[in-house]
Chain A
Amino acid sequence: MRVTVLGPASELLAPTHLPFFKGGVRAGFPSPADDYLESNIRLQDLLVEHPAATFLVRIEGDSMKGAGIHDGDIAVVDRALSPAHGKIVVAVVDGDFAVKRLIYRNGSCFLESANPAFPDIEVSESSDNAVWGVVAHVIHRLK
Protein backbone atom coordinates (compact mmCIF):
# COMPACT_ATOMS: atom_id res chain seq x y z
CA MET A 1 0.00 0.00 0.00
CA ARG A 2 1.33 3.44 -0.87
CA VAL A 3 0.79 6.24 1.58
CA THR A 4 1.25 9.86 0.66
CA VAL A 5 1.51 12.28 3.56
CA LEU A 6 -0.24 15.49 2.66
CA GLY A 7 0.26 17.27 5.97
CA PRO A 8 -1.57 17.62 9.28
CA ALA A 9 -5.33 17.36 8.88
CA SER A 10 -5.87 20.54 10.87
CA GLU A 11 -3.91 22.53 8.29
CA LEU A 12 -5.63 20.95 5.34
CA LEU A 13 -9.11 21.30 6.68
CA ALA A 14 -8.98 24.64 8.44
CA PRO A 15 -10.41 27.23 6.06
CA THR A 16 -8.06 30.15 5.64
CA HIS A 17 -10.76 32.22 4.01
CA LEU A 18 -14.41 32.31 4.86
CA PRO A 19 -16.85 32.38 1.98
CA PHE A 20 -17.80 35.88 1.03
CA PHE A 21 -21.14 36.96 -0.35
CA LYS A 22 -20.60 39.52 -3.06
CA GLY A 23 -23.22 42.07 -3.98
CA GLY A 24 -25.61 43.59 -1.48
CA VAL A 25 -29.14 42.44 -0.83
CA ARG A 26 -31.74 44.66 -2.38
CA ALA A 27 -35.07 45.39 -0.73
CA GLY A 28 -37.70 47.78 -1.97
CA PHE A 29 -37.50 49.87 -5.12
CA PRO A 30 -34.28 51.36 -6.50
CA SER A 31 -34.05 55.13 -6.28
CA PRO A 32 -34.89 56.88 -9.56
CA ALA A 33 -31.90 59.16 -8.91
CA ASP A 34 -29.41 56.24 -8.95
CA ASP A 35 -28.52 56.75 -12.58
CA TYR A 36 -27.79 60.44 -12.04
CA LEU A 37 -25.40 60.10 -9.10
CA GLU A 38 -22.07 61.81 -9.64
CA SER A 39 -19.15 62.00 -7.29
CA ASN A 40 -19.06 64.88 -4.82
CA ILE A 41 -17.02 68.04 -5.31
CA ARG A 42 -13.69 67.32 -3.68
CA LEU A 43 -11.85 70.20 -2.02
CA GLN A 44 -8.69 68.16 -2.49
CA ASP A 45 -8.86 68.83 -6.23
CA LEU A 46 -9.08 72.55 -5.59
CA LEU A 47 -6.26 72.75 -3.06
CA VAL A 48 -3.83 70.05 -4.16
CA GLU A 49 -2.41 70.38 -7.64
CA HIS A 50 0.63 68.12 -7.10
CA PRO A 51 -0.27 65.47 -4.51
CA ALA A 52 3.26 64.03 -4.34
CA ALA A 53 4.70 67.46 -3.53
CA THR A 54 2.00 68.87 -1.25
CA PHE A 55 2.39 69.14 2.53
CA LEU A 56 0.28 70.84 5.19
CA VAL A 57 1.91 73.19 7.68
CA ARG A 58 0.30 74.89 10.67
CA ILE A 59 0.90 78.63 11.07
CA GLU A 60 1.81 80.12 14.44
CA GLY A 61 2.19 83.87 14.89
CA ASP A 62 0.97 87.18 13.52
CA SER A 63 3.77 88.40 11.24
CA MET A 64 1.86 87.57 8.03
CA LYS A 65 -1.51 89.08 8.91
CA GLY A 66 -1.17 91.64 6.13
CA ALA A 67 -1.01 88.79 3.60
CA GLY A 68 -4.18 87.21 5.01
CA ILE A 69 -2.33 84.50 6.91
CA HIS A 70 -3.39 84.21 10.53
CA ASP A 71 -2.31 82.38 13.66
CA GLY A 72 -3.77 78.85 13.56
CA ASP A 73 -4.26 78.73 9.78
CA ILE A 74 -3.13 75.75 7.75
CA ALA A 75 -0.84 76.45 4.82
CA VAL A 76 -1.00 74.14 1.79
CA VAL A 77 2.63 73.99 0.69
CA ASP A 78 3.33 72.87 -2.88
CA ARG A 79 7.01 72.03 -3.28
CA ALA A 80 6.52 71.52 -7.03
CA LEU A 81 6.16 75.31 -7.41
CA SER A 82 9.41 77.18 -7.93
CA PRO A 83 10.23 79.94 -5.46
CA ALA A 84 10.01 83.35 -7.11
CA HIS A 85 10.08 87.02 -6.11
CA GLY A 86 6.93 87.92 -4.19
CA LYS A 87 5.83 84.35 -3.39
CA ILE A 88 4.84 83.37 0.14
CA VAL A 89 7.14 80.57 1.20
CA VAL A 90 7.94 78.26 4.07
CA ALA A 91 11.61 78.95 4.70
CA VAL A 92 14.18 77.43 7.01
CA VAL A 93 15.46 80.08 9.41
CA ASP A 94 18.03 78.88 11.99
CA GLY A 95 16.75 75.33 11.52
CA ASP A 96 13.09 76.21 12.11
CA PHE A 97 10.26 76.72 9.65
CA ALA A 98 9.06 80.28 9.06
CA VAL A 99 6.36 81.64 6.75
CA LYS A 100 7.45 84.80 4.93
CA ARG A 101 7.31 86.57 1.60
CA LEU A 102 10.35 85.93 -0.62
CA ILE A 103 11.85 89.15 -1.97
CA TYR A 104 14.89 89.62 -4.21
CA ARG A 105 16.32 93.12 -3.79
CA ASN A 106 19.67 94.55 -4.96
CA GLY A 107 21.05 91.11 -5.62
CA SER A 108 20.17 89.87 -2.14
CA CYS A 109 17.42 87.62 -0.93
CA PHE A 110 15.08 88.63 1.90
CA LEU A 111 12.24 87.10 3.86
CA GLU A 112 9.68 89.81 4.45
CA SER A 113 6.89 89.86 6.99
CA ALA A 114 3.49 91.29 6.18
CA ASN A 115 3.35 93.18 9.44
CA PRO A 116 5.41 96.35 10.10
CA ALA A 117 6.12 95.19 13.65
CA PHE A 118 8.46 92.45 12.29
CA PRO A 119 11.83 93.15 10.62
CA ASP A 120 12.93 91.57 7.32
CA ILE A 121 15.36 88.70 7.44
CA GLU A 122 18.24 88.63 5.01
CA VAL A 123 18.98 85.16 3.74
CA SER A 124 22.70 84.52 3.83
CA GLU A 125 22.98 81.17 2.12
CA SER A 126 21.55 80.59 -1.34
CA SER A 127 17.80 80.95 -1.46
CA ASP A 128 17.55 77.40 -2.87
CA ASN A 129 18.55 76.03 0.49
CA ALA A 130 16.50 78.46 2.53
CA VAL A 131 13.15 77.88 0.85
CA TRP A 132 11.40 74.66 1.90
CA GLY A 133 8.31 75.13 -0.22
CA VAL A 134 5.95 77.62 -1.79
CA VAL A 135 2.62 78.25 -0.06
CA ALA A 136 -0.14 77.65 -2.62
CA HIS A 137 -3.21 78.10 -0.40
CA VAL A 138 -4.13 78.98 3.16
CA ILE A 139 -7.01 77.38 4.99
CA HIS A 140 -8.52 79.81 7.47
CA ARG A 141 -11.31 78.97 9.88
CA LEU A 142 -13.59 81.91 10.60
CA LYS A 143 -13.97 82.50 14.33
Chain B
Amino acid sequence: MMIALADGNNFYASCERVFQPLLNGIPIVVLSNNDGCVVARSEEAKAAGVEMGVPEFKIRPLIKAHGIRVFSSNYTLYGDMSRRMHEVLSGEAPASEVYSIDEIFLDFDGIAQPEAHAARLRAKVRQWTGLPVSIGIGETKTLAKAANRLAKSHRRGSGVLRITRENREEWLRLLPVEKVWGIGRAHAARLMARKIKTALDLAWLHPEEVRDSMGLVGTRLIHELRGTPCLAIEEIAPKKKQLVCAKGFGSPLSALSEIEEALAAYTDTVAGKLRAQGSVCGAVQVFLLTNVFRPDQPQYSPSTAETIPEATNNSPELIAASRRLLRKIWRPGHQFRKVGVILHDITDSVQLDLFAPSRDRLARARLQSAVDQLDGAVRWGSMGFKDGWKLRAEHKSRRWTTELSEIPVARA
Protein backbone atom coordinates (compact mmCIF):
# COMPACT_ATOMS: atom_id res chain seq x y z
CA MET B 1 0.00 0.00 0.00
CA MET B 2 1.24 3.49 -0.78
CA ILE B 3 -0.50 6.71 0.19
CA ALA B 4 0.32 10.34 -0.50
CA LEU B 5 -0.89 13.37 1.41
CA ALA B 6 -0.90 16.65 -0.49
CA ASP B 7 -1.21 19.74 1.65
CA GLY B 8 -1.36 23.38 0.57
CA ASN B 9 1.52 25.36 2.10
CA ASN B 10 0.23 28.20 4.33
CA PHE B 11 -2.97 27.69 2.40
CA TYR B 12 -4.99 30.84 3.15
CA ALA B 13 -1.97 33.10 2.78
CA SER B 14 -1.09 31.42 -0.52
CA CYS B 15 -4.64 31.93 -1.83
CA GLU B 16 -4.30 35.66 -1.18
CA ARG B 17 -1.00 35.74 -3.08
CA VAL B 18 -2.26 34.09 -6.24
CA PHE B 19 -4.26 37.20 -7.09
CA GLN B 20 -1.90 39.79 -5.63
CA PRO B 21 1.60 39.05 -6.92
CA LEU B 22 2.86 42.13 -5.08
CA LEU B 23 2.45 40.16 -1.86
CA ASN B 24 5.16 37.67 -2.84
CA GLY B 25 7.97 37.87 -0.33
CA ILE B 26 5.95 40.09 2.01
CA PRO B 27 4.79 38.71 5.39
CA ILE B 28 1.03 37.99 5.48
CA VAL B 29 -1.33 36.91 8.21
CA VAL B 30 -4.98 35.91 7.88
CA LEU B 31 -7.38 36.49 10.79
CA SER B 32 -10.30 34.34 11.91
CA ASN B 33 -13.93 35.35 11.64
CA ASN B 34 -14.56 38.82 13.06
CA ASP B 35 -10.86 39.66 12.71
CA GLY B 36 -10.07 37.84 15.94
CA CYS B 37 -6.98 35.64 15.89
CA VAL B 38 -4.26 34.63 13.47
CA VAL B 39 -5.35 31.50 11.54
CA ALA B 40 -2.72 31.51 8.78
CA ARG B 41 0.78 32.91 8.31
CA SER B 42 3.10 33.11 5.37
CA GLU B 43 6.68 31.87 5.90
CA GLU B 44 7.83 35.48 6.31
CA ALA B 45 5.23 36.11 9.03
CA LYS B 46 6.38 32.96 10.86
CA ALA B 47 9.96 34.20 10.62
CA ALA B 48 8.87 37.57 12.02
CA GLY B 49 7.68 35.73 15.14
CA VAL B 50 3.90 35.71 14.67
CA GLU B 51 2.41 32.75 16.55
CA MET B 52 -0.62 30.78 15.39
CA GLY B 53 -3.85 31.65 17.19
CA VAL B 54 -2.79 34.92 18.81
CA PRO B 55 -5.31 37.79 18.86
CA GLU B 56 -4.62 40.49 16.32
CA PHE B 57 -4.24 43.27 18.89
CA LYS B 58 -1.35 41.43 20.54
CA ILE B 59 0.75 41.42 17.36
CA ARG B 60 0.18 45.05 16.38
CA PRO B 61 3.78 46.01 17.20
CA LEU B 62 5.04 43.12 15.05
CA ILE B 63 2.71 44.12 12.22
CA LYS B 64 4.12 47.61 12.30
CA ALA B 65 7.75 46.61 12.66
CA HIS B 66 7.74 44.05 9.84
CA GLY B 67 5.20 45.63 7.50
CA ILE B 68 2.97 42.56 7.82
CA ARG B 69 -0.11 42.60 5.59
CA VAL B 70 -3.24 41.58 7.47
CA PHE B 71 -6.23 39.88 5.86
CA SER B 72 -9.70 39.05 7.13
CA SER B 73 -10.57 35.48 6.27
CA ASN B 74 -12.15 35.13 2.86
CA TYR B 75 -13.66 31.66 2.91
CA THR B 76 -15.40 32.17 -0.41
CA LEU B 77 -11.97 32.46 -2.01
CA TYR B 78 -10.31 29.70 0.06
CA GLY B 79 -13.20 27.31 -0.59
CA ASP B 80 -13.03 27.87 -4.33
CA MET B 81 -9.24 27.52 -4.46
CA SER B 82 -9.50 24.37 -2.35
CA ARG B 83 -11.98 22.90 -4.81
CA ARG B 84 -9.58 23.64 -7.66
CA MET B 85 -6.63 22.07 -5.86
CA HIS B 86 -8.61 18.95 -4.97
CA GLU B 87 -9.94 18.69 -8.52
CA VAL B 88 -6.46 18.75 -10.07
CA LEU B 89 -5.11 16.17 -7.61
CA SER B 90 -8.05 13.77 -7.50
CA GLY B 91 -7.86 13.50 -11.28
CA GLU B 92 -4.34 12.06 -10.90
CA ALA B 93 -5.04 9.13 -8.59
CA PRO B 94 -7.43 6.18 -8.81
CA ALA B 95 -8.83 7.09 -5.39
CA SER B 96 -8.62 10.15 -3.20
CA GLU B 97 -10.04 11.44 0.02
CA VAL B 98 -10.49 15.11 0.83
CA TYR B 99 -9.38 15.44 4.43
CA SER B 100 -9.64 19.18 4.99
CA ILE B 101 -9.80 22.46 3.11
CA ASP B 102 -6.10 22.17 2.27
CA GLU B 103 -5.32 18.45 2.52
CA ILE B 104 -6.13 15.46 0.33
CA PHE B 105 -5.06 11.82 0.57
CA LEU B 106 -4.21 10.12 -2.73
CA ASP B 107 -3.94 6.42 -3.43
CA PHE B 108 -0.42 5.93 -4.84
CA ASP B 109 -0.59 2.14 -5.00
CA GLY B 110 1.17 0.70 -8.03
CA ILE B 111 2.89 3.95 -9.03
CA ALA B 112 6.40 3.06 -10.17
CA GLN B 113 8.25 6.26 -9.25
CA PRO B 114 6.20 7.88 -6.49
CA GLU B 115 8.58 10.79 -5.84
CA ALA B 116 8.71 11.73 -9.50
CA HIS B 117 4.92 11.43 -9.79
CA ALA B 118 4.48 13.60 -6.71
CA ALA B 119 6.85 16.21 -8.14
CA ARG B 120 4.78 16.29 -11.35
CA LEU B 121 1.55 16.70 -9.36
CA ARG B 122 3.07 19.48 -7.34
CA ALA B 123 4.14 21.32 -10.49
CA LYS B 124 0.70 20.80 -12.01
CA VAL B 125 -1.15 22.24 -9.01
CA ARG B 126 1.26 25.17 -9.02
CA GLN B 127 0.69 25.86 -12.72
CA TRP B 128 -3.07 25.29 -12.78
CA THR B 129 -3.97 27.08 -9.54
CA GLY B 130 -0.91 29.06 -8.49
CA LEU B 131 -0.87 27.28 -5.13
CA PRO B 132 2.27 25.72 -3.61
CA VAL B 133 1.70 22.24 -2.13
CA SER B 134 3.87 19.74 -0.29
CA ILE B 135 3.43 16.02 -0.78
CA GLY B 136 4.33 13.32 1.73
CA ILE B 137 4.37 9.65 0.77
CA GLY B 138 4.30 6.58 2.99
CA GLU B 139 2.94 3.10 3.42
CA THR B 140 0.16 4.27 5.73
CA LYS B 141 -1.86 7.45 6.19
CA THR B 142 0.01 8.23 9.39
CA LEU B 143 3.36 7.88 7.60
CA ALA B 144 2.14 9.98 4.64
CA LYS B 145 1.08 12.66 7.10
CA ALA B 146 4.44 12.46 8.88
CA ALA B 147 6.27 12.64 5.55
CA ASN B 148 4.27 15.75 4.65
CA ARG B 149 5.23 17.44 7.93
CA LEU B 150 8.87 16.59 7.30
CA ALA B 151 8.69 17.78 3.68
CA LYS B 152 7.65 21.20 4.96
CA SER B 153 10.45 21.44 7.49
CA HIS B 154 13.27 19.58 5.67
CA ARG B 155 12.50 19.69 1.95
CA ARG B 156 11.53 23.28 1.31
CA GLY B 157 12.95 23.19 -2.19
CA SER B 158 11.37 20.07 -3.63
CA GLY B 159 8.33 19.86 -1.36
CA VAL B 160 8.23 16.07 -1.74
CA LEU B 161 9.31 13.51 0.83
CA ARG B 162 8.82 9.77 0.94
CA ILE B 163 9.19 7.61 4.01
CA THR B 164 10.25 4.11 2.96
CA ARG B 165 10.97 0.96 4.94
CA GLU B 166 14.68 1.77 4.63
CA ASN B 167 14.69 5.41 5.73
CA ARG B 168 11.77 5.26 8.17
CA GLU B 169 13.90 5.30 11.33
CA GLU B 170 15.98 8.27 10.32
CA TRP B 171 12.95 10.38 9.40
CA LEU B 172 10.75 9.45 12.36
CA ARG B 173 13.63 10.41 14.64
CA LEU B 174 13.33 13.96 13.28
CA LEU B 175 9.59 14.27 13.91
CA PRO B 176 8.61 15.56 17.38
CA VAL B 177 5.97 13.35 18.95
CA GLU B 178 3.42 16.18 19.20
CA LYS B 179 3.52 16.50 15.41
CA VAL B 180 2.34 12.93 14.89
CA TRP B 181 -1.15 12.76 13.41
CA GLY B 182 -3.70 12.10 16.14
CA ILE B 183 -1.46 13.07 19.06
CA GLY B 184 -3.20 15.91 20.87
CA ARG B 185 -1.64 18.25 23.37
CA ALA B 186 -2.66 16.13 26.38
CA HIS B 187 -1.24 12.90 24.95
CA ALA B 188 1.93 14.67 23.85
CA ALA B 189 2.51 15.96 27.39
CA ARG B 190 1.96 12.49 28.85
CA LEU B 191 4.35 10.94 26.32
CA MET B 192 6.99 13.60 26.90
CA ALA B 193 6.81 12.83 30.64
CA ARG B 194 7.69 9.24 29.73
CA LYS B 195 10.64 10.51 27.68
CA ILE B 196 8.93 9.63 24.43
CA LYS B 197 9.93 12.64 22.41
CA THR B 198 9.90 11.66 18.76
CA ALA B 199 7.73 9.67 16.38
CA LEU B 200 10.45 7.01 16.45
CA ASP B 201 10.27 6.69 20.26
CA LEU B 202 6.54 6.23 19.87
CA ALA B 203 6.93 3.61 17.13
CA TRP B 204 9.24 1.61 19.39
CA LEU B 205 6.65 1.30 22.16
CA HIS B 206 4.77 -1.95 22.46
CA PRO B 207 1.23 -1.23 21.25
CA GLU B 208 -0.11 -2.56 24.56
CA GLU B 209 1.93 0.05 26.44
CA VAL B 210 -0.34 2.82 25.23
CA ARG B 211 -3.64 0.98 25.29
CA ASP B 212 -4.49 2.24 28.77
CA SER B 213 -3.68 5.88 28.11
CA MET B 214 -4.61 6.22 24.45
CA GLY B 215 -6.95 3.32 23.78
CA LEU B 216 -7.33 1.54 20.50
CA VAL B 217 -6.47 4.66 18.48
CA GLY B 218 -3.04 4.72 20.14
CA THR B 219 -2.23 1.09 19.42
CA ARG B 220 -3.27 1.50 15.80
CA LEU B 221 -1.14 4.62 15.55
CA ILE B 222 1.90 2.61 16.55
CA HIS B 223 1.13 -0.07 13.97
CA GLU B 224 0.71 2.64 11.34
CA LEU B 225 4.04 4.25 12.22
CA ARG B 226 5.61 0.82 11.71
CA GLY B 227 4.15 0.60 8.24
CA THR B 228 1.12 -1.60 8.88
CA PRO B 229 -1.94 0.18 7.52
CA CYS B 230 -4.87 -0.14 9.89
CA LEU B 231 -6.10 3.36 10.68
CA ALA B 232 -8.99 4.41 8.52
CA ILE B 233 -9.29 8.14 8.32
CA GLU B 234 -12.73 8.26 9.94
CA GLU B 235 -11.25 6.83 13.11
CA ILE B 236 -9.05 9.84 13.74
CA ALA B 237 -10.90 12.51 15.70
CA PRO B 238 -11.51 15.39 13.30
CA LYS B 239 -9.34 18.39 13.80
CA LYS B 240 -10.97 21.02 15.88
CA LYS B 241 -10.42 23.62 13.20
CA GLN B 242 -13.06 22.09 11.00
CA LEU B 243 -15.91 19.61 11.15
CA VAL B 244 -17.06 17.60 8.18
CA CYS B 245 -20.18 15.61 7.48
CA ALA B 246 -20.37 14.03 4.05
CA LYS B 247 -22.03 10.80 3.10
CA GLY B 248 -22.57 8.97 -0.13
CA PHE B 249 -26.14 8.28 -1.16
CA GLY B 250 -27.46 4.72 -1.35
CA SER B 251 -28.37 5.40 -4.94
CA PRO B 252 -27.38 8.51 -6.92
CA LEU B 253 -29.70 11.48 -6.41
CA SER B 254 -30.66 14.01 -9.05
CA ALA B 255 -33.48 15.96 -7.35
CA LEU B 256 -32.60 19.16 -5.50
CA SER B 257 -35.29 18.49 -2.89
CA GLU B 258 -33.80 15.13 -1.92
CA ILE B 259 -30.26 16.47 -1.70
CA GLU B 260 -31.46 19.45 0.35
CA GLU B 261 -33.06 17.08 2.78
CA ALA B 262 -29.85 15.08 3.16
CA LEU B 263 -27.75 18.21 3.48
CA ALA B 264 -30.03 19.59 6.19
CA ALA B 265 -29.59 16.36 8.15
CA TYR B 266 -25.79 16.42 7.77
CA THR B 267 -25.65 20.08 8.73
CA ASP B 268 -27.71 19.36 11.83
CA THR B 269 -25.27 16.55 12.70
CA VAL B 270 -22.14 18.72 12.46
CA ALA B 271 -23.88 21.60 14.23
CA GLY B 272 -24.57 19.15 17.06
CA LYS B 273 -20.87 18.18 17.21
CA LEU B 274 -19.99 21.84 17.26
CA ARG B 275 -22.30 22.48 20.22
CA ALA B 276 -21.05 19.35 21.97
CA GLN B 277 -17.48 20.67 21.95
CA GLY B 278 -18.64 24.14 22.95
CA SER B 279 -17.59 25.84 19.73
CA VAL B 280 -19.02 28.12 17.09
CA CYS B 281 -18.07 28.32 13.44
CA GLY B 282 -17.56 31.32 11.19
CA ALA B 283 -17.79 29.81 7.73
CA VAL B 284 -19.67 27.06 5.94
CA GLN B 285 -18.65 25.09 2.86
CA VAL B 286 -20.87 22.79 0.80
CA PHE B 287 -19.79 20.41 -1.93
CA LEU B 288 -21.39 17.97 -4.35
CA LEU B 289 -19.81 15.00 -6.12
CA THR B 290 -20.89 13.06 -9.18
CA ASN B 291 -19.49 9.59 -9.81
CA VAL B 292 -16.00 10.03 -11.29
CA PHE B 293 -15.94 6.38 -12.25
CA ARG B 294 -18.82 6.84 -14.66
CA PRO B 295 -17.21 8.84 -17.50
CA ASP B 296 -20.33 8.17 -19.57
CA GLN B 297 -22.31 10.43 -17.20
CA PRO B 298 -21.94 14.24 -17.08
CA GLN B 299 -19.45 15.16 -14.37
CA TYR B 300 -19.92 18.08 -12.02
CA SER B 301 -18.31 18.32 -8.58
CA PRO B 302 -18.67 21.90 -7.39
CA SER B 303 -18.00 23.40 -4.01
CA THR B 304 -18.61 26.81 -2.51
CA ALA B 305 -18.19 28.50 0.85
CA GLU B 306 -19.30 31.61 2.66
CA THR B 307 -18.44 33.50 5.79
CA ILE B 308 -21.48 33.79 8.01
CA PRO B 309 -22.29 37.18 9.47
CA GLU B 310 -21.90 36.06 13.05
CA ALA B 311 -20.16 32.92 14.30
CA THR B 312 -22.78 30.41 15.42
CA ASN B 313 -23.51 26.80 16.31
CA ASN B 314 -27.26 27.13 15.85
CA SER B 315 -28.72 24.41 13.62
CA PRO B 316 -31.43 26.42 11.82
CA GLU B 317 -28.94 29.16 10.96
CA LEU B 318 -26.35 26.72 9.67
CA ILE B 319 -28.97 24.75 7.75
CA ALA B 320 -30.15 27.98 6.10
CA ALA B 321 -26.55 28.80 5.14
CA SER B 322 -25.83 25.34 3.73
CA ARG B 323 -29.07 25.39 1.76
CA ARG B 324 -28.20 28.81 0.32
CA LEU B 325 -24.79 27.48 -0.75
CA LEU B 326 -26.28 24.31 -2.24
CA ARG B 327 -28.70 26.36 -4.34
CA LYS B 328 -25.78 28.44 -5.59
CA ILE B 329 -23.92 25.43 -6.99
CA TRP B 330 -26.92 23.27 -7.85
CA ARG B 331 -27.27 22.30 -11.47
CA PRO B 332 -29.91 19.91 -12.80
CA GLY B 333 -29.19 16.97 -15.09
CA HIS B 334 -26.58 15.25 -12.93
CA GLN B 335 -26.53 12.09 -10.86
CA PHE B 336 -24.95 13.09 -7.54
CA ARG B 337 -23.21 10.49 -5.45
CA LYS B 338 -22.43 12.58 -2.42
CA VAL B 339 -23.17 15.86 -0.68
CA GLY B 340 -21.17 17.25 2.20
CA VAL B 341 -20.89 20.18 4.55
CA ILE B 342 -17.71 21.45 6.19
CA LEU B 343 -17.68 23.96 9.03
CA HIS B 344 -14.64 26.21 9.13
CA ASP B 345 -13.17 28.84 11.40
CA ILE B 346 -14.12 27.00 14.56
CA THR B 347 -13.55 28.86 17.80
CA ASP B 348 -14.63 28.49 21.40
CA SER B 349 -17.95 30.08 22.13
CA VAL B 350 -16.79 31.75 25.37
CA GLN B 351 -17.65 35.26 24.32
CA LEU B 352 -21.22 34.16 23.70
CA ASP B 353 -21.84 32.85 27.19
CA LEU B 354 -23.97 35.88 27.90
CA PHE B 355 -26.74 34.13 26.07
CA ALA B 356 -25.97 30.58 27.10
CA PRO B 357 -27.16 27.94 27.04
CA SER B 358 -29.48 28.13 24.08
CA ARG B 359 -28.22 31.35 22.55
CA ASP B 360 -31.65 31.94 21.19
CA ARG B 361 -31.33 34.24 18.21
CA LEU B 362 -34.96 35.27 18.50
CA ALA B 363 -34.41 36.40 22.06
CA ARG B 364 -31.43 38.39 20.84
CA ALA B 365 -33.47 39.96 18.11
CA ARG B 366 -36.20 40.89 20.61
CA LEU B 367 -33.62 42.29 22.94
CA GLN B 368 -32.15 44.26 20.08
CA SER B 369 -35.49 45.79 19.13
CA ALA B 370 -36.27 46.56 22.78
CA VAL B 371 -32.96 48.35 23.04
CA ASP B 372 -33.65 50.16 19.80
CA GLN B 373 -36.95 51.44 21.22
CA LEU B 374 -35.10 52.93 24.16
CA ASP B 375 -33.41 55.10 21.60
CA GLY B 376 -29.90 55.21 22.91
CA ALA B 377 -30.82 55.19 26.61
CA VAL B 378 -29.22 51.77 26.89
CA ARG B 379 -25.89 51.11 25.25
CA TRP B 380 -24.53 47.77 24.13
CA GLY B 381 -21.14 49.07 25.13
CA SER B 382 -22.09 48.65 28.78
CA MET B 383 -22.37 44.92 28.12
CA GLY B 384 -19.09 44.75 26.27
CA PHE B 385 -21.01 43.88 23.17
CA LYS B 386 -20.51 46.96 21.07
CA ASP B 387 -19.56 45.24 17.82
CA GLY B 388 -21.38 42.04 18.62
CA TRP B 389 -23.92 42.45 15.86
CA LYS B 390 -21.56 43.36 13.13
CA LEU B 391 -19.06 41.15 11.41
CA ARG B 392 -15.64 42.71 11.43
CA ALA B 393 -13.86 41.98 8.20
CA GLU B 394 -11.92 45.15 7.67
CA HIS B 395 -9.13 43.62 5.63
CA LYS B 396 -11.05 41.27 3.40
CA SER B 397 -9.68 40.65 -0.08
CA ARG B 398 -11.96 40.40 -3.07
CA ARG B 399 -13.83 37.28 -4.11
CA TRP B 400 -11.48 37.05 -7.09
CA THR B 401 -12.84 33.80 -8.50
CA THR B 402 -16.53 33.72 -7.75
CA GLU B 403 -17.93 37.25 -8.23
CA LEU B 404 -17.91 38.83 -11.66
CA SER B 405 -17.74 42.31 -10.16
CA GLU B 406 -14.63 41.37 -8.14
CA ILE B 407 -12.45 39.53 -10.69
CA PRO B 408 -8.85 40.67 -11.12
CA VAL B 409 -8.07 43.48 -13.55
CA ALA B 410 -5.28 43.28 -16.13
CA ARG B 411 -3.90 46.37 -17.85
CA ALA B 412 -3.82 46.21 -21.61
> Which of chain A's residues 6-56 have a Cβ closer than 8 Å to chain B?
16-17, 20, 22, 39, 50-53, 55-56
Residues in B with CB closer than 8 Å to A16 are 268, 315
Measured CB to CB, the nearest residue on chain A to B298 is A39
Does A103 have its Cβ within 8 Å of any Cβ on chain B? no
Q: How many contacts A-B (CB < 8 Å)?
A: 90
Cβ of B109 to closest chain A Cβ, rounded Å: 24
Does A102 have its Cβ within 8 Å of any Cβ on chain B? no
Tell me, in angstroms, the Cα distance from A92 to B17 when the chains sit together: 12
Residues in B with CB closer than 8 Å to A79 are 127-130
Size of the A side of the interface (Cβ < 8 Å), in residues, is: 36
Q: Check A17/B410 contact, CB under 8 A, given A50-B128, A51-B87.
A: no
Does B228 have its Cβ within 8 Å of any Cβ on chain A? no
Residues in B with CB closer than 8 Å to A52 are 83-85, 87-88, 128-129
Residues in A with CB closer than 8 Å to B333 are 39
Size of the B side of the interface (Cβ < 8 Å), in residues, is: 30
Measured CB to CB, the nearest residue on chain B to A100 is B412
Residues in B with CB closer than 8 Å to A75 are 410
Cβ of A126 to closest chain B Cβ, rounded Å: 14
Measured CB to CB, the nearest residue on chain B to A97 is B410
Cβ of A116 to closest chain B Cβ, rounded Å: 14
- Establish whether residues B21 and A92, one from each chain, have CB atoms under 8 Å apart when the complex forms: yes
Contact of A61 among B22, B87, B127, B412 (CB under 8 A): B412
Residues in B with CB closer than 8 Å to A53 are 84, 88, 127-129
Does A123 have its Cβ within 8 Å of any Cβ on chain B? no
Tell me, in angstroms, the Cα distance from A79 to B87 when the chains sit together: 14
Residues in B with CB closer than 8 Å to A69 are 412
- Which one of B84, B88, B401 has the greatest number of beta carbons of chain A within 10 Å? B84
- Which one of A20, A52, A69, A100 has the greatest number of beta carbons of chain B within 10 Å? A52
Residues in A with CB closer than 8 Å to B53 are none
- Establish whether residues B411 and A98, one from each chain, have CB atoms under 8 Å apart when the complex forms: yes
Residues in A with CB closer than 8 Å to B83 are 52
Cβ of B390 to closest chain A Cβ, rounded Å: 30
Residues in A with CB closer than 8 Å to B332 are 39
Tell me, in angstroms, the Cα distance from A127 to B209 when the chains sit together: 57
Does B208 have its Cβ within 8 Å of any Cβ on chain A? no
Residues in B with CB closer than 8 Å to A57 are 407-410
- Establish whether residues B261 and A20, one from each chain, have CB atoms under 8 Å apart when the complex forms: yes
- Establish whether residues A64 and B128, one from each chain, have CB atoms under 8 Å apart when the complex forms: no
- Establish whether residues B407 and A74, one from each chain, have CB atoms under 8 Å apart when the complex forms: yes
Residues in A with CB closer than 8 Å to B264 are 17
Measured CB to CB, the nearest residue on chain B to A90 is B410
Tell me, in angstroms, the Cα distance from A100 to B411 when the chains sit together: 9
- Establish whether residues A64 and B84, one from each chain, have CB atoms under 8 Å apart when the complex forms: no
Does A95 have its Cβ within 8 Å of any Cβ on chain B? yes
- Establish whether residues B412 and A64, one from each chain, have CB atoms under 8 Å apart when the complex forms: yes
Does B234 have its Cβ within 8 Å of any Cβ on chain A? no
Q: Check A97/B128 contact, CB under 8 A, given A17-B268, A52-B84, A52-B87.
A: no
Measured CB to CB, the nearest residue on chain A to B88 is A52
- Establish whether residues A71 and B87, one from each chain, have CB atoms under 8 Å apart when the complex forms: no
- Establish whether residues A60 and B88, one from each chain, have CB atoms under 8 Å apart when the complex forms: no
- Establish whether residues A62 and B21, one from each chain, have CB atoms under 8 Å apart when the complex forms: no
Known: A17-B264, A52-B128, A90-B410. 14 other contacts (CB 8 A): A16-B315, A22-B255, A52-B87, A52-B88, A55-B400, A55-B407, A74-B404, A74-B407, A75-B410, A79-B129, A80-B127, A97-B409, A97-B411, A99-B410
State the 3 A-B residue pairs at the shortest beta-carbon distance, nearest first.
A95-B22, A53-B128, A97-B410
> Can you list 26 A-B contacts (CB < 8 A)?
A17-B264, A17-B265, A20-B257, A22-B255, A22-B257, A52-B83, A55-B401, A55-B407, A57-B408, A57-B410, A58-B407, A59-B409, A60-B410, A60-B411, A60-B412, A61-B412, A79-B130, A95-B21, A96-B21, A96-B22, A97-B410, A97-B411, A98-B412, A99-B412, A113-B412, A132-B130
